[in-house]
């Protein structure tokens, strides 16, 4: 499991503490989710200042609503659902439209045992992947973030996006096909 997701097992306990008005627990939850929520919000809107406002607004909604978490999904799914609604509300409020944004900030950091040539190759692959991701629709970018970066189950993504599970599967399939095609266009072998 990705290092960003190790905390998912303890998140319900942390959220229960937040529901009890534990400010330190909220601070920890905020630290755990701030970057992930920001990156996710950026797949819906692309305005760094507005995205930061949405993150703050979403996390304040988490603080106020922690006691209403039903444990029927992961805490992360619940938080992303709040963030998604806040992002869509912000778009409506500002009269802006969705923009396509790459998932580039979620790509891996350098590895300690990596040689200089491996580092260069990895950076080139990241750059090409970012370019390929920019060509995807907002829906495809969002679905790939939720599946691959946030590792949410299809059923939870379906609930989050208010679409059938089969639609999630279809979007993932076509997003991966489109990404493979774009990587091939950029001279990269299929890596998806």
Q: Is the dihedral of CA 15, 43, 188, 173 positive or negative?
A: positive
Mind listing the pLDDT tens digit for each residue in 46-105? 788 999 999 999 999 999 999 999 888 899 999 999 999 999 999 888 876 544 344 444
If you average pLDDT over residues 117-125, what whole number do you get?
Answer: 70
User: What pLDDT does residue 32 have?
Assistant: 93
191 in a structural domain: no
CATH number at residue 64: 1.10.1740.10
User: Looking at the predicted structure, is the pLDDT value of residue 24 above 60?
Assistant: yes
User: What pLDDT does residue 189 have?
Assistant: 60
User: Looking at the predicted structure, is the pLDDT value of residue 135 above 90?
Assistant: no
Closest CA to 180 of 141, 132, 143: 132
105 in a structural domain: no
The chain-wide mean pLDDT, for the chain, equals 82
User: What pLDDT does residue 1 have?
Assistant: 36
73 and 135 share one domain: no
Mind listing the pLDDT tens digit for each residue in 161-189? 999 999 999 999 999 999 888 888 877 66
Look up residue 150 and give its DSSP letter.
S
User: What pLDDT does residue 145 have?
Assistant: 87
If you average pLDDT over residues 19-29, what whole number do you get?
Answer: 93
170 in a structural domain: yes
* Domain-ending residue, one of 69, 94, 119: 94
Task: Note down the domain range covering 181.
Answer: 111-185
If you average pLDDT over residues 33-44, what whole number do you get?
Answer: 91
Percentage of the chain beyond pLDDT 70 is 80
Closest CA to 160 of 90, 51, 91, 77: 77
Closest CA to 29 of 78, 61, 63, 55: 63
Provide the domain count of the chain: 2
73 and 141 share one domain: no
Check if the beta carbon of residue 103 is closer than 8 Å to that of residue 43: yes
106 in a structural domain: no
CA distances (Å), origin 18, targets 13, 40, 99, 111, 152: 9, 22, 33, 34, 23
99 in a structural domain: no
119 and 161 share one domain: yes
Three-state DSSP state, 192: coil
User: What pLDDT does residue 64 have?
Assistant: 95
pTM (2 d.p.): 0.66
144 in a structural domain: yes
46 and 78 share one domain: yes
190 in a structural domain: no
77 in a structural domain: yes
Q: Which two tokens stand for residue 186?
A: 């950029």
E strands in 29-74:
none
User: What pLDDT does residue 188 have?
Assistant: 67
């Amino acid at each position: 499991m990705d290092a960003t997701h190790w905390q998912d097992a303890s998140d319900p306990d942390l959220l229960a503490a937040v529901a009890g008005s534990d400010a330190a627990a909220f601070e920890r939850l905020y630290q755990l989710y701030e970057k992930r929520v920001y990156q996710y919000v950026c797949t819906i809107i692309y305005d760094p200042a507005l995205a930061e406002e949405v993150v703050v607004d979403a996390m304040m909604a988490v603080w106020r609503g922690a006691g209403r978490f039903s444990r029927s999904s992961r805490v992360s799914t619940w938080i992303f659902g709040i963030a998604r609604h806040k992002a869509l509300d912000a778009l409506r409020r500002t009269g802006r439209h969705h923009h396509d944004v790459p998932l580039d900030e979620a790509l891996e950091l350098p590895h300690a045992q990596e040689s200089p040539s491996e580092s260069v190759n990895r950076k080139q692959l990241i750059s090409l992947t970012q370019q390929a991701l920019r060509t995807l629709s907002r829906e495809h970018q969002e679905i790939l973030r939720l599946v691959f970066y946030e590792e949410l189950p299809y059923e939870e993504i379906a609930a989050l996006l208010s679409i059938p599970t089969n639609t999630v599967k279809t979007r993932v399939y076509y997003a991966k096909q489109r990404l493979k095609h774009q990587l091939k266009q950029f001279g990269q072998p299929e890596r998806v």
